[in-house]
Structures are given as structure tokens and as C-alpha cells.
Amino acid sequence: MRDVSSSDTLRIVSYNVRYFGHALRGLASTLGPKRRVAAAIAQLKPLPDVICLQEVETTSLRSRVAHRGAVEGENQLQAFMGRMEEMFKEAGLFMPYVALYYPAHAYRVRTVNLYTTGLAVLVNTQRLTVDSHNSAAPMRITHHHVEAMREHKQTRICAHLRLRDARGRHLHIFNTHLSLPTPFAREFWSQRDKMGFGRNQLSEAKLLAGFVQKYSAGEPFIVCGDFNSAPFSPVFRYLCEEGSFASAQQRMGQLDPASPRRFPTAGFTRLRMHIDHLFYGGGLEWDDLSDTYPFGDERSHFHGLSDHMPLIGRFHLPAHAPIHSHGAAPA
């Protein structure tokens, strides 16, 4: 058994924060959830080295209408990082994170953003260095089933960073959020299982896998996020088989082919779903999923803060990770 307290061990969090608006059922962002999410992160021991967030806004009516004390010109990620500073200071901790934002889509009426979508990645700069990233132009992976609806469909993207540890070893982080299965396909209405069975989702998974394979270039990588896909669905199987991704949850025994919903990562009313995933490859080895709890488990510091639960895991890079000069993110 590997000693997971080793200084070589790194930790990651992947979390759909629902625009920090869960307290108002996703209708608007408020200050309280930002504080509570930041406080929950500060309680993790050891602190994560990488934090990947899904459903993070820029600046919009939804992100500010109920946000008392909002600072003029401050976007949602900046507001959250301000709460991180507060909560870490209260806990007597140094706040080591820098944040990168990856814009995806904006729903506008004339010049007013009603709401926006995007991804964010926080990096612990005491442990890792950012070599390159694609935040200025995230990879678009959206499948447009109806061409006439192209401008109205929410854009799906993949965020990418190439990181370097203290020993010079590289690690690629890919953060994404796939579409829901399209209701415009005939099979959507004829099949019982839907999450991960949509033809649009499979198209996005193929684009995602190709992007990961191209830019990781044989170096260790993690692909995480909200895949809107159940374990062992066509999307999951494609990523594991054709994409050559390994599933951390499967490796750690959280997944059961006979019961794909037995460890739910998200919930809506009484519905429970396992749709968030941690995949990895390139020689990286997974150690644990400590502090990852199923949706609704009150033992988690994150209980009740979103309609998803965070995936939290530790891993380590190979002792002699390959070094490539062509693994940087696209400009």
C-alpha cells in the first residue's frame, strides 16, 4: 500500500458548484454559498493542489441580482476568490491558490447578460507551476444536432492546463462539462436510460478524447468534470475504451455495472445520479478518493452546497515522467 502522505502525492477536487446559487435553487448567486464552499475547501486536509469547478459565471444578472455587497466590475470567480481569502484567513491558513477562468456561453438580451456559463481551475502555487493553459480560447466540443439552434444551444468547452511539479514532472488537467442528451433524437424518447446515451454526448466525448490525446502527448493527465453520463453508458465506455482513460471511481471500487446509480454524485428532488467523473492516464497512478461522499451524505463539509457533490482524490505521478516539448495548450 502506497503512503498517501508522501510529498509526491497530489490532490484534486472536481466540483459542479451550480453558479453558487443552490440556496436559491440556481436562480441567482448569493454571497453565503461562496463563503461556505470556500470554508469547506479550507477544511480539507491536506489542501487540494488543483480545484476544478464547473458552472461558474462571469458577470450577469443572475450572478449579481441577489449578491449583496457585490463589488463593481468584479466577476463571480473574483468574488469567490475573495471569499477564499476570508475563509483561509479565519482558519489561520495561507491561501495559496491562483484561479483561471474559461468562458463558455453568454445568454444576452441586447447588451445585458442574463446569465453566463464557464469553468474555472484553481492551482496551489506552493506545489505546482502553471506552464501553459487555454483560458483565452477553450476547446469547443459542442455537438449541434439542430443547426438552426446553434446560437441558442449552450456552448460546451474543455479547459486545459499543463502543470509542473517541484521535480519538473508535467501533469495535464482537463476540466469539462458535457451536454445533456438531446431530446431531438428519436432514441431519447424510446430508451429508458438517457444520461450518457445521447448521440450528441457521444460526439462531444469523441472530440474531448481527441483533444486530450493530442495535448497530453503521452504525459500524465486527469480529465474531470460533469459528464452528464452514467457509469458504463456509451459515453463512459467510449472514453475508457477508445479514449484509453482510466476511471478513478472504478479503480477505487465506487462503481458497480449492475447498479450504476449506487454512488450518486448529483441529485434533483428525489432523483439520484452518478454523472460526475475523474478519469486519468499517461502513467499517473490513483491512490484514494478520501473525502468523496455520495450525494446527500451529511458527513461531507460540502453537503447541501450544490446539487452535486465534489469528487476529491489523491494520486501520484510516475517517478520519471516523460518530458515533451509539444504538450502545451493551444494558443
- What pLDDT, in 10s, does the model give residues 80-114? 999 999 999 999 999 999 999 999 865 455 565 45
**205 pLDDT band (50/70/90 cuts)?**
very high
Spatial distance between the Cα atoms of 225 and 52, rounded to a whole number of angstroms: 7
Residue identified by cell 460533469 is: 226
Q: Is 19 or 114 the better-scoring residue by pLDDT? A: 19
Contact 181, 194 (CB under 8 A): yes
Q: State the pLDDT confidence band at 189, using cuts at 50, 70 and 90.
A: low
Which three three-digit cell numbers place residue 246?
482510466
Domains of the chain by residue range = 9-316
Q: What is the pLDDT of residue 162?
A: 98
Q: Reduced to 3 states, what is the DSSP secondary structure of residue 160?
A: strand
d(CA 259, CA 159): 31
End-to-end C-alpha distance for the chain, whole angstroms: 41
Q: Is the peptide bond before 46 cis (omega within 30 degrees of 0)?
A: yes
Render pLDDT for 48-73 as a digit per residue (tens, 0 to 9).
999 999 999 875 434 444 445 555 56
CATH class of 9-316: alpha beta
The CA angle 279-295-58, to the nearest 5 degrees, is: 70
Give the pLDDT band of residue 30 (cuts 50, 70, 90): confident
Lowest average pLDDT, out of 79-88, 113-122, 249-258, 291-300, goes to 113-122
